[in-house]
Amino acid sequence: MRPILLSGHERALTQVKFSKEGDLIFSVSKDHNACAWYANNGERFGVYKGHQGALWTVDVDPNTVLLATGGADNTIRLWEVKTGKLLKTWEFGTAIKRVEFSEDGRLLLGVTEKRQGQLSTVIVYEINPDPEAEQTSEQSLRIVCDELPKVTVAGFSYLSKYIITGHEDGSVSKWDAKTGELLQNVFVHDADLQVTDLQWSQDRTYFITASKDKTAKLMTVDELEVLKTYVADTPLNSAAITPVKDYVILGGGQAAMDVTTTSARQGKFEARFYHKVFEEEIGRVRGHFGPLNYVAVSPTGTCYCSGGEDGYVRVHHFDPPYFDFKFEVEREKENQSRI
């Protein structure tokens, strides 16, 4: 496969996201801009300008009408995808580390950072999916994390029933998305190594977490039970579950501050593919010069892209071997069912 390199950003990428149909890629970077790209040929559709600080996070609603971005200028901004018009700005006391739409696009959550005496919070807004409509300034829910360590990642579970958060100390919590009540808090990753990413399966009944402790874990929403563990040899920044094929993709690499002291080979700046069920590594894709900050898989399952500390987004469309690959047991099972 020939990767498409998207070089529209001047600084490190922080997050990349696909639209629901997998045709558009949204990328945010520390250079204050968000970009939209066509996934099939890498053409840049447009740039969303307006933020005053580094961007940490981006999400697009399921209709690909609204785009939410959050960053170090302490704002969440809502854009119209098609025109690039700024629809709404919500201001906060500290930086926004994560935004995510619910499955139906009616709710938007944001995670604020703990700093300057402010506590880490998860806030939820009700979103009007019509780009012409006025968006509310009123939070429908606000979860303040005063007892737990700071939240690093968060997302809505299936049917927007729960909010799952990942914390700085490697624990994962479940909250009631209606009342904001803490239901469960489990330690899944090594203590004091933060959860760096949380991505959903297609039906949002389970998710994968990535952590600096060099592992990624597949967990259920209902019990917060660890189903699978994928062990890597480098701190992980991101993990994604692939639709169509049962794989997971992990991205990471040495911390950005140590990069200059190591060669690209040692830095392990590769996307690692694991089999989702057998937990076995099946391959790697090289290319970035810096750690991978985020990996995202198209919901169609035919391509994935990674955003790196090197300022590039690399879009990979999978070749036939990716789809043909099967473990011996899978082949046997198929043969048996044929007989």
**Between 217 and 316, CB nearer to other proteins:** 316
Structure tokens at 181: 């009540």
Q: Does residue 231 belong to the site contacting other proteins (CB under 8 A)? A: no
Residue type, 207: F
Answer for which of 219, 285, 297, 305 binds other proteins (CB under 8 A) is 285
Answer for which of 10, 52, 83, 334 binds other proteins (CB under 8 A) is 83
Residue type, 277: V
d(Cα 112, Cα 309) in Å, to the nearest integer?
22
**Burial letters for 66-76: b for 16+ Cβ neighbours within 10 Å, e otherwise?**
bbbbbbbbbbb
- DSSP structure class, residue 231: E
Q: Does residue 327 belong to the site contacting other proteins (CB under 8 A)? A: yes
Q: Are 236 and 252 in contact (CB under 8 A)?
A: yes
Answer for which of 11, 44, 106, 161 binds other proteins (CB under 8 A) is 44
Q: Per CB under 8 A, which region of 162-170, 183-191, 202-210, 284-292 contacts other proteins?
A: 284-292
Q: Does residue 7 belong to the site contacting other proteins (CB under 8 A)? A: yes
107: part of which helix (H) or strand (E)? strand 107-112
Q: Per CB under 8 A, which region of 107-115, 165-173, 251-259, 323-331 contacts other proteins?
A: 323-331
Q: Does residue 92 belong to the site contacting other proteins (CB under 8 A)? A: no
CA 254 to chain centre: 19
For the chain, the first-to-last Cα distance in angstroms comes to 35
Q: Does residue 261 belong to the site contacting other proteins (CB under 8 A)? A: no
Residue 26: CB atoms within 10 Å: 25
d(Cα 54, Cα 75) in Å, to the nearest integer?
11
Q: Does residue 221 belong to the site contacting other proteins (CB under 8 A)? A: no
Q: Does residue 268 belong to the site contacting other proteins (CB under 8 A)? A: yes
Number of residues that bind other proteins (CB under 8 A): 52
Give the interface with other proteins as residue ranges (CB under 8 A): 1-8, 19, 21, 23-24, 37-38, 41-49, 64, 82-84, 233, 247, 265-266, 268, 273, 280-287, 314, 316, 318-322, 324-325, 327-328
